[in-house]
Amino acid sequence: MFQNNPLLTQLKKNLHAKTPRVEGIVKSTERGFGFLEIDSQKSYFIPPKNMKKVMHGDKIIALLKIEKDREIVQPEKLIEPFLNRFVGKIEEKNNKLFITPDYPFLKDLIICEPNKNCINMFHDGDWAVAKLIKHKLNGDHIFYAELIERIIKKNDPFIPWSVTLARHCLDRQEPLVEQKDFTLKENHYRKDLRNLDFITIDNLNTKDIDDALFIYKNSDNEFCLTVAIADPTAYIEYGSKLDIMASKRGFTNYLPGFNIPMLPRNLSEDICSLHPNQSRPVLACRIIIQKDGSISKNIHFFLAWIKSKAKLSYEHVSDWIEKSGTWTPQNKSIEKQISLLHRLCLLRIKWRKKNAVLFKDSLEYRFHFSETGKILDVFVEKRRIAHKIVEESMIIANISAANFLSKNLGFGIYNIHTGFDLINAENAVSFLKNYNLKFSVKEITTLKGFCNLRRVLNILSDNYIDSRIRRFQSFGDFSIIPGPHFALGFSEYATWTSPIRKYSDMINHRLLKSIINKNQAIKPSEEIKSKISEQRRKNRMAERDVSDWLYTILLQDQKYQNKIFNAEIIDISRNGIRARLTENGANVFIPGTFLHPIREEITFNQELGKVFINGVVHYKVSDYIQVTLSDIKLATRTIIARPEY
């Protein structure tokens, strides 16, 4: 008798309207249930039956209910699916295709079909790009995807690279253009410097050589440094097809084992590259460095021809300076260049230590591969004196370019770093007080005060304090107008020394040339600046993801089982520790259950970067501990470690 009763229907509507709703991100677990994260502090339980309607990462609105004296949520509306375009691995069952998304916590097979442009392309074990077109929370009975591109075949050794690049929508090969496009497009006057003893210093296997150096002492006993930079914009017209392609890529993408160049290889590694004994057009800058290490205002930019006299390597130059190894410069002229550049480097390091920010040396890890792409090992590389020689020369050149652009145009592509915002400055000052380091917010939000803080921290040499302060700092960015770079300690900074590898440097080349040739300068747009910034972010993510994948492959080798590794704690998460193996640079995760058996007695404080057990600090960021590998999950590229006591 109550069926279709309008009063009952209205009552149900009223009750439904009064049911509280929450909005958040779905986080799934390996045991079938999940949580709806509202913010970093609040989450609600999602029972297994309700998880079947959603996926990990979905942004949803859910009904908040009480079930058995516990708050739970029932998914109601999809705001934004986690999966839209995604990559995954194909599985063939009973003549039907399924795809497993290549993301942690997304393990369920999704039924799929190829779109009309790629029929009969997919087979069991292949990797593909897919698009989710049906979602259960939208009223569909199943999750359903459309296959739109095959990435790579099953068992191909280059799966980690190809899949990662496809996930981040990054190019997988060099730009393809016809060779005839590569003719010199400019007829501007260039100084002939081919008789000077320019040298290049790079890695042994570097092909895209974009900087050469020449140095002498002038009559006032000051260093006179000429930095000559490869000139791809002499071959690439603004707005041309190749220029547009380069602007979209933004950078040469350096991944473990190989790179995907921003420009065609025969341009970046041959025609423009500053190979020894080859005439090359360059954009050059002559800079006077005074006796105290400061840069003179006497800065001269010009176009030139050079012919490098030697391609030197970091290893050989460092060995010779440090008086180790058997390598020697090929003649006295090259020997003199190295000696003068070394002296300039030491002078500038001394100046920067006193007047700017000197960053600490860090280890770099380089993967070693077989000819077939199999990972063999990881080598540890330290920044040696030859690296610093080139680094200091490029810093001098980039400071000079920033000053030159600001003085003549007032715009360009500047590298900026704003130090601390107001809130983080207050947090930093409060944190430093705990260690008797007295700074004010006003002080550390100025360039001079920030530099002073960094110098104090360098002297203190406490890695824990340093890591916490870095956590409060902002990230580097690009700007069209001049701005300070706090992390380097300079009032302005604009790179132009890698135009073969960075589109932002190509932009600055064109601006510098417009000043030299007295032409109209085209101000870069906010859109191109944002595009470059986004490409840099994606490239860094891709490099990290490929590295994580390669580490999980490498460390499955039998020789690493039961091996004790030294590891540095780099972060504290909500339920464990993240650490880096010092031997090879692999990142590992140590779950809380491996640290202490009673969950209620352990506290992970992410803000402080410390782990407390019964109120006592047992672990903190920057600590070195010993670990063994417990589990390597290739599917999620996760390495689980266990502490050794």
Q: Residue 362: its pLDDT value, please? A: 83
**Tokens 């570097």 identify what position?**
206
pLDDT at 16 over 80: no
| 641, 619 contact by CB (below 8 A) | no
Domain tally, the chain? 5
536 membership: H or E segment, kind and range: helix 526-554
- C-alpha dihedral (267, 268, 270, 276), degrees to nearest 10: 140
Q: Residue 147: its pLDDT value, please? A: 95
Give a yes or no: residue 510 inside a domain: yes
463 membership: H or E segment, kind and range: helix 463-472
Q: Residue 62: its pLDDT value, please? A: 93
Give a yes or no: residue 480 inside a domain: no
160 membership: H or E segment, kind and range: helix 159-167
Give a yes or no: residue 236 inside a domain: yes
Q: How confident is the model at residue 10 (pLDDT cuts 50, 70, 90)?
A: low
Whether residue 100 is found in the same domain as residue 246 = no
Give a yes or no: residue 479 inside a domain: no
Give me the sign of the Cα torsion angle 10, 12, 14, 17. negative
Q: What mean pLDDT is predicted for residues 533-554?
A: 96
Whether residue 412 is found in the same domain as residue 432 = no
- Give which of 137, 172, 166 is closest to 149, Cα–Cα: 166
Give a yes or no: residue 345 inside a domain: yes
In Å, how far are 283, 516, 629 from 188, measured between CA atoms?
A: 11, 10, 61
**Range with top average pLDDT, 60-74, 179-193, 502-516:** 502-516
Q: Residue 106: its pLDDT value, please? A: 86
Cα–Cα distance measured from residue 594 to residue 590, given in angstroms and rounded to the nearest whole number:
7
Whether residue 506 is found in the same domain as residue 620 = no
pLDDT tens per residue across span 554-588: 999 999 999 999 999 999 998 899 999 999 999 99
What residues have CB less than 8 Å from 315, skipping those under 6 apart? 204, 325, 384, 386
Q: How confident is the model at residue 645 (pLDDT cuts 50, 70, 90)?
A: confident
Whether residue 302 is found in the same domain as residue 249 = yes
Alpha helices in 297-421 (DSSP H): 314-321, 332-355, 385-408
Of the two residues 470 and 29, the one the predictor is more confident about is 470
Whether residue 382 is found in the same domain as residue 233 = yes
pLDDT tens per residue across span 240-271: 999 999 999 999 999 999 899 999 999 999 99
Q: Residue 14: its pLDDT value, please? A: 52
Cα–Cα distance measured from residue 271 to residue 208, given in angstroms and rounded to the nearest whole number:
10
Whether residue 141 is found in the same domain as residue 34 = no
Tell me the pLDDT of the chain averaged across its residues: 93
- Give which of 368, 414, 438 is closest to 532, Cα–Cα: 414
Whether residue 580 is found in the same domain as residue 492 = no
Give a yes or no: residue 232 inside a domain: yes
Angle (nearest 5°) at CA 24 between 23 and 29: 140
Helix pair angle (385-408, 503-516), 10° resolution? 50
Report residue 236 as tokens.
């690439």
Cα–Cα distance measured from residue 339 to residue 321, given in angstroms and rounded to the nearest whole number:
8
Q: What is the CATH number of the domain that holds 565?
A: 2.40.50.140
The alpha carbons of the chain give a radius of gyration, in whole angstroms, of: 29
CB atoms within 10 A of CB 492: 21
Q: What is the CATH number of the domain that holds 100?
A: 2.40.50.640
pLDDT at 8 over 60: no
pLDDT at 181 over 70: no
Max Cα distance, the chain (Å): 109
Distance spanning both ends of the chain, measured CA to CA: 72
DSSP state of 164: H
pLDDT at 74 over 60: yes
Whether residue 70 is found in the same domain as residue 89 = no
pLDDT tens per residue across span 502-530: 999 999 999 999 999 999 999 999 999 99
Whether residue 390 is found in the same domain as residue 331 = yes
Q: Residue 17: its pLDDT value, please? A: 56
Q: Residue 182: its pLDDT value, please? A: 82
Q: What mean pLDDT is predicted for residues 78-95?
A: 93
Name the domain boundary from 29, 58, 80. Answer: 80
Whether residue 305 is found in the same domain as residue 372 = yes
Give a yes or no: residue 4 inside a domain: no
**Tokens 């020997």 identify what position?**
335
pLDDT tens per residue across span 21-63: 999 999 988 888 999 999 877 889 999 999 999 999 999 999 9
| 454, 489 contact by CB (below 8 A) | yes
Q: Residue 5: its pLDDT value, please? A: 61
Give a yes or no: residue 189 inside a domain: yes
Name the domain boundary from 107, 136, 156. Answer: 156
Whether residue 327 is found in the same domain as residue 430 = no
Q: What mean pLDDT is predicted for residues 348-370?
A: 91
Q: What mean pLDDT is predicted for residues 377-395?
A: 95
Whether residue 505 is found in the same domain as residue 623 = no
Q: Residue 1: its pLDDT value, please? A: 47
- Give which of 333, 300, 285, 298 is closest to 220, Cα–Cα: 298
pLDDT at 601 over 80: yes
Cα–Cα distance measured from residue 503 to residue 262, given in angstroms and rounded to the nearest whole number:
8
Q: Residue 584: its pLDDT value, please? A: 95
- Tell me the residue range of the domain where 639 lies: 558-643
Q: Among all residues, which ones are annotated catalytic?
A: 202, 208, 210-211, 314, 501
Of the two residues 141 and 402, the one the predictor is more confident about is 402
Cα–Cα distance measured from residue 553 to residue 424, given in angstroms and rounded to the nearest whole number:
39
The burial class, CB within 10 Å (0-12 / 13-18 / 19+), for 260 is buried
pLDDT at 179 over 90: no
